[in-house]
Structure 1
Amino acid sequence: KNNNFALYSVLKAQLSAATGPRHALGDGADARDYFRLLFPDSLFEHMVEQTNNYALYRQRRSGRIDSHWHPTNVREMQAYIGLNILMGINQLPDYGMYWATDIFIGNAGFKKTMTARRFEKLNQNIHLCDREMEPARGRPDYDGLYKIRPLLNVVQSTMWEAYAPNRCLTIDAGAVAVKGRFSTAQYMPSKPIKKGLKVWMLCDSKSGYCHRAAIHVSRPGEDAEALGYRVVTSLAKGLEGKYHHLFMDSFFTSVSLLQRLLRDGLYACGTTQQSRHGFPDMLKLRNVGKLAPGEFFQCQHGNIVATVMRDTKVISCLSSNCTPGIVGICQSRQCDGPSFGMPRPLPLLLYQENMRGVDLCDQLRECYQVGRPCKKWWRYFLWFYINLCIVDAYIIMRESRGGAPPPGWLVLGSRTRCYRLKKLLELMQPFHLWMGN
C-alpha cells in the first residue's frame, strides 16, 4: 500500500565528470606498476630515512650501540614489506616459524630474503615520522596521528587521484582488526570485525574501490549526528557540483546533511532514525500506526523525500535522488521455498543496490591480512593502508584491462569471489618473485 502526501518528481542533474582509472600505464604493466600508483617509491624512500633515523635515536636514548643494526635501504624495505604481505597468504602462528629449520614449517623464500634477526631489527625500528620533532600532547600543534601523518598525506592523495569516482558512492565505517588492549578500539556489532580501530570510508558502490579512508578521531562533547555530518562532508570534499549519489546508513543520514549536500551539488540516500531533527512528524510511528508488510508512507519537501516502510521491521529513509511514488520489486528468498518479490519504494531499492561499496572493499581486504599483531596502534594502520593500496591497485588493473589478465596470468574464467581472491594473490606475487631473485 502506497500512502503519499502531495508528491512530485525530483529534479536530478547528470554526473558532470569523467569516471574510472586515471593513469598512463600500458598493456605491459604488471601488478607492481599498478601498486606504485597508490604506494609510490618515494614513500619507501621516506620509510628508509625515518627508520634509519629512529634506529640512531633509540641507540642515543639507551646509550648503547646496537651491534646487530646496520642502515637499511629501499630494496630491503620493499622486501620487508613484501614478507609482511606474504605472511597474510602463508599464515603461521608465530613469525619466527617462517625461519624454522623443519622442512614442513620453515619457508625457504623467507630464509633467502633475509635472516630472522634482520627481520626482527626492522620490526623494532621501522618508522614513518621523525620522533624527535613530535609535538607533545597539549601543544597547539599536537597531532594525534603524527606517527602516520606522512603515510596519510601520500596515500590519501594517490587513492583520490588514481581513480575518478563513478556516480554511486558508499559512505560507511570500516574496522581494522587489532589484538590486545587499545583505548581507541570500538565495538561494532554490525561489522564482520566486531572490535577494532574505526575508519570512515568512501568507496565505489559497484567495484569497492576506496577513494578515501579517514581514521576516526573523536571530539569531546560531539554527538553522533554532528559526527556523522562532519564525516560525510569531509569525505565528500572535492565532489562538489558533480552530482554524485552518496549512499549511507542511519548513523549519518539527517535532513540537515541532505540539505547541505544538495547545496553542494550532491545527491544522497540513506536509512535514518526517526528521532533525528527535521524528520517529518507525520511519518513517525505514533502517527502512521501499525504498518502491514510492504506498506509504506512518503512525504516530500523540495528534493528531499522521507519514506517509512515495513519489511521485516520498520525502516525509515531520507533521499534526494529518488522521485516518490515509484514502486519496484525486491527479490528475496525464503529458506525453504522459491524466491518471491517484496514491493519496495524506489529509495529503498536504490539503497539496497548501492549500499555495498565498503562491504565489497572489506571482502577483498579481509581475504589476506598484511603484517602481524603488534603493540603499537600506528602499525595496524600502516598494514591497513598497504592492504588497501593492494586492493585498489587490483581494481584499477582489472578495470584498465577490461577484466582481461596480463600476459602469462592464469585465467579462471569466472567473476566470482574466488576470481577476485586469485587476482589478489597474483597482485602480491610479483613481490615474491622480486625477493626471490
Structure 2
Amino acid sequence: MMGSHAFAMVNLTDRKSIKWQRRPLAVVDTNWMPLPGNDNDLEDTMSPVKYFYRYIPTQLFEEMAEFTNIYALQQGTLNFDITNGQELQVLVGLHIMMGALKFPRVHLYWDKALGLNFFNAMTKNRFFKLWNHLHLVNNLEHDKSCKDRLFKVRPIFQAVQKRCKELDLEQKLCVDEQMVPFKGTLSVKQYIKGKPYKWGVKIFMLCGESGLCYDFIIYQGKTTEIEEGLQKTFGFGGAVVLHLSERIYETGNQNHQLYFDNYFTNFNMLQALKHKNILAAGTARANRLSKPPTMTDKEVLKQERG
C-alpha cells in the first residue's frame, strides 16, 4: 500500500538509544527549485465549471447514471425514467446551489414565491426520485469481505484525489486534520471537542501555503487506509504524515518544508523525513521525543511571551 515502501528501508534509532546534546543550531540548506511545467496557475483563469470538471470529470457522471439505473431496477421502482450523465450533472448543480442558499426544507427551493427560476431545470418530484436512487457502484458486486466503509462513494473520492495528486507541489506544505461538518447517520462520523465543527467526517490533508490540497485520507477508524506496519513503527499520527509524504517523495524534488502540530510529531517520523530530504518542523510533546532537555510546561509559562 502506498505510504510505506519509501520509508521501509530507513534506519531508525531505538527510543532507548536516543541521546540529546546541546549544540549550536546548524544552518539547514533550504534551497528549492520548482519543477518545470507547473500548471497550477492555469486554474486561476478557468471558469468555475471547467475547474469543477478537473476534479469531477463528465465520464464519472455517465458511470453514476448507469449505476443509478441499475439500482432503480434492483429496487423494482415503478415509473422510473432512466437517467443519463447530463441529468445527473443538473442534480449535482442543484445540490451545490442548495449548499449556498441553505433553506431549512428541501421543497422550499421550488416554492414559486421565492422565484428561484434555476430550480426549474428539474421538477421537484424528479429531484427526489433521483436523490433516492443515486448510486456510484453496483451494490451486488461489492465483496462482503471488504472492510472499506466508503466503498459506495469510492469513485468520486478517487476522482477528486487523482486531480489533487496531479497538481505541482509548493515548497511549504502542511499536514493537518479537517472536519467536514455532518450530523446525519454515517459510520465514519466523528466527534472532536474544541473544533469549530465538532461533528463530521475527519480528513487528514496535505496542503500547500496557497491552500491547495495535494492529497488526503478520510479517517474511518481501524479501516483507515494506512498500512498497519507503518502505524506500529511510527504511531498513527506519524504514519499519517509519512503516508501523505509519499506524495512529496515521488516528485524527486528536495528540501520541501513540511509542517504539522503535536498530534503528529515524534522522533522517528522526523528521522524518516530527514532521510528522504524532506525538511520538517512541528510542535512537540516531550514524551514523544524521548525526554529532550527542554524546559517544562510550568517553566515556560513563567517566561515572557516569545
- Cα distance between partner residues in 1 of 2:185 and 2:44: 46
TM (normalized to structure 1)? 0.58
Q: Is 2:284 the counterpart of 1:272?
A: yes
- Cα distance between partner residues in 1 of 2:149 and 2:178: 19
Relative contact order (alpha carbons < 8 A, sep ≥ 6): 1 or 2 greater?
A: 1
| Cα shift readout 1:20-67 (whole Å, capped 9, x = no counterpart) | 9527969984221222222211122221122112111222xxxxx411
- Cα distance between partner residues in 1 of 2:90 and 2:169: 32
Shift in Å at residue 113 of structure 1?
0.5
Match of 1:239 in 2: 248
- Cα distance between partner residues in 2 of 1:186 and 1:39: 26
Match of 1:107 in 2: 116
Shift in alpha-carbon separation, 1:25–1:42, aligned structure 2, 3 A: farther
Question: 2:161 touches 2:215 (CA, 8 Å); kept in 1?
Answer: yes
| Cα shift readout 1:236-262 (whole Å, capped 9, x = no counterpart) | 113114221111111001111110111
Q: Is 2:95 the counterpart of 1:87?
A: no
Shift in Å at residue 235 of structure 1?
1.1
TM (normalized to structure 2)? 0.81
| Cα shift readout 1:212-271 (whole Å, capped 9, x = no counterpart) | 121013228978961111111111113114221111111001111110111112011111
Shift in alpha-carbon separation, 1:185–1:71, aligned structure 2, 3 A: same
Shift in alpha-carbon separation, 1:26–1:6, aligned structure 2, 3 A: closer
SS in 2 for 1:212: strand
- Cα distance between partner residues in 2 of 1:175 and 1:185: 10
Q: Is 2:303 the counterpart of 1:293?
A: yes
Shift in alpha-carbon separation, 1:31–1:183, aligned structure 2, 3 A: closer
Match of 2:14 in 1: none
Amino acid at match of 2:238: Y
Q: Which has the higher strand share?
A: 1
Counterpart mapping for 1:12-411 below 5 A: 12-18=29-35, 22=39, 29-59=46-76, 65-67=77-79, 69-101=80-112, 103=113, 105=114, 107-110=116-119, 112-136=120-144, 139=145, 141-161=146-166, 163-205=167-209, 207-219=210-222, 226-240=235-249, 241-242=252-253, 243-280=255-292, 282-283=293-294, 285=296, 289=299, 292-294=302-304, 311=305, 343=306
Shift in alpha-carbon separation, 1:291–1:27, aligned structure 2, 3 A: closer
Shift in alpha-carbon separation, 1:219–1:279, aligned structure 2, 3 A: farther
Shift in alpha-carbon separation, 1:291–1:199, aligned structure 2, 3 A: closer
Aligned residues between the structures: 277
SS in 1 for 2:246: coil
SS in 2 for 1:164: coil
Amino acid at match of 2:81: H
- Cα distance between partner residues in 2 of 1:290 and 1:230: 30
Unaligned runs of 5+ in 2: 1-20
Give percent identity, aligned residues only.
31
- Cα distance between partner residues in 2 of 1:169 and 1:144: 29
- Cα distance between partner residues in 2 of 1:72 and 1:279: 62
Shift in alpha-carbon separation, 1:19–1:121, aligned structure 2, 3 A: farther
- Cα distance between partner residues in 1 of 2:44 and 2:27: 43
Shift in alpha-carbon separation, 1:278–1:142, aligned structure 2, 3 A: same
| Cα shift readout 1:129-182 (whole Å, capped 9, x = no counterpart) | 11111111xx2x443221122122222111121x21111111110112112344
Shift in alpha-carbon separation, 1:293–1:228, aligned structure 2, 3 A: same
Shift in alpha-carbon separation, 1:179–1:218, aligned structure 2, 3 A: closer
Question: 1:45 touches 1:74 (CA, 8 Å); kept in 2?
Answer: yes
| Cα shift readout 1:66-92 (whole Å, capped 9, x = no counterpart) | 11x111112111111100011122221
